[in-house]
Amino acid sequence: MKFRVELTKPSPIRLTRNDILEGLMKRITHWINGKPFSGVAECQGKVFNPATGLQGGEVDFASADDVDVAVAAAKAAFPGWRATSLAKRTTVLFALRELKRFR
């Protein structure tokens, strides 16, 4: 069996500075009930790198309803967390710290 391969010249891609920056923008959202917030935030705020002054992302602002959902999820999770041994909670928090540190 023979295969035929044709090479074509790719069309040039023209990116503007805004296209590049938009692709690098980080969206920071809420973490509710063990998963990222799936809703659409009504308001966002810009996040700036203090060393460079450049915008690096946007953060979602929570509405009163979003806060109510987060508080209800935290209340529901608390009994299980409280029942977890101190050794296990310490292990979890130190692991979280390490993930954050090497991010």
Residue 47 clears pLDDT 60, i.e. is over it: yes
Question: What's the average model confidence in pLDDT over 42-54?
Answer: 90
Q: Are 60 and 27 in contact (CB under 8 A)?
A: yes
How far is it, in rounded angstroms, from Cα 66 to Cα 73?
Answer: 11
Give me the chain's average pLDDT, please.
83
In sequence order, what are the residues at sequence separation of 6 or more whose Cβ sits closer than 8 angstroms to the Cβ of residue 73? 32, 33
pTM above 0.85, yes or no: no
Question: Which residue has 């050794």 as its token pair?
Answer: 87
Confidence grade of residue 82 (pLDDT, cut at 50, 70, 90):
very high
Say if CB 30 and CB 37 are below 8 A apart: yes
> What are the domain boundaries of the chain?
17-101
